[in-house]
Structure 1
Amino acid sequence: MKNFIALLLAAYCGFAGAAQNTPAEEAAAAPVQQYAYGQQLDIARVLEMSGIPDVCNVVPARMTYLDHQGQVHVLEYQVMGTGCSQG
């Protein structure tokens, strides 16, 4: 009897987990928002940040994050590349 209950519980958890999208799947479907200076952001957890190229120029970068309600957002903003010399 205990094995049967454990089997039912495992099957239920498997089906419940399969119905949810992963953050990567949700990020692929999320629209890209353009950041505006002074914009208030609700960031609970950063999921991914794009790399910054080795150029001496302003380039776009992206950050994928979860808000406090668990919604995935993709934010695009401008950064200075890392290729400028300090000398």
Structure 2
Amino acid sequence: MNTKAIYAACLFAALNICTLSARAEGNVQAQTYTYGTHLDIQKVLSMTEDAGPDCGVVNAHMTYLDSAGHQQALDYSKFSDHCSDGN
């Protein structure tokens, strides 16, 4: 077997392993935050909240990477982004 074929086979195998791990992390079960929950957040990937035109408490969702590089998800409650300062 020539060198190019070996390199191509190694590259193909590495890409397949990365794809499988990405699919596994995409199916992360969201944890619901409660007071005292230990959070290990290295990098926030996305944050969303329920739509609502009024100021008040809404449900929110955060997807993040922990210190080991694993994708995690968290559901929590927060004041809406529609709340102005002082409300």
Specify every segment of 5 or more residues in structure 2 that has no aligned partner in the other structure, as ranges. Answer: none
The verdict on how the C-alpha distance between 1:85 and 1:67 changes in structure 2, with shifts beyond 3 A counting, is closer
Q: Which amino acid aligns with 1:17?
A: L
Q: Which residue is equivalent to 1:21? A: 21
Corresponding position: 1:67 with 2:78: no
Deviation at 1:16, TM superposition (A): 1.6
Specify every segment of 5 or more residues in structure 1 that has no aligned partner in the other structure, as ranges. Answer: none
Distance (Å, rounded) in 2 between the aligned partners of 1:85 and 1:74: 27
The structure 1 residue matched to 2:42, chosen from 44, 47, 67, is 44
Distance (Å, rounded) in 1 between the aligned partners of 2:45 and 2:84: 30
Secondary structure of 1:68 counterpart: coil
> C-alpha deviations, 1:40-86, integer Å up to 9, x for none?
21112222211463432211111111112222211011011133455
* TM score, norm. by length of structure 1: 0.70
The verdict on how the C-alpha distance between 1:86 and 1:26 changes in structure 2, with shifts beyond 3 A counting, is same
Contact 1:52 1:82 in 2 (8 A): no
* TM score, norm. by length of structure 2: 0.70
The verdict on how the C-alpha distance between 1:85 and 1:65 changes in structure 2, with shifts beyond 3 A counting, is closer
Corresponding position: 1:9 with 2:17: no
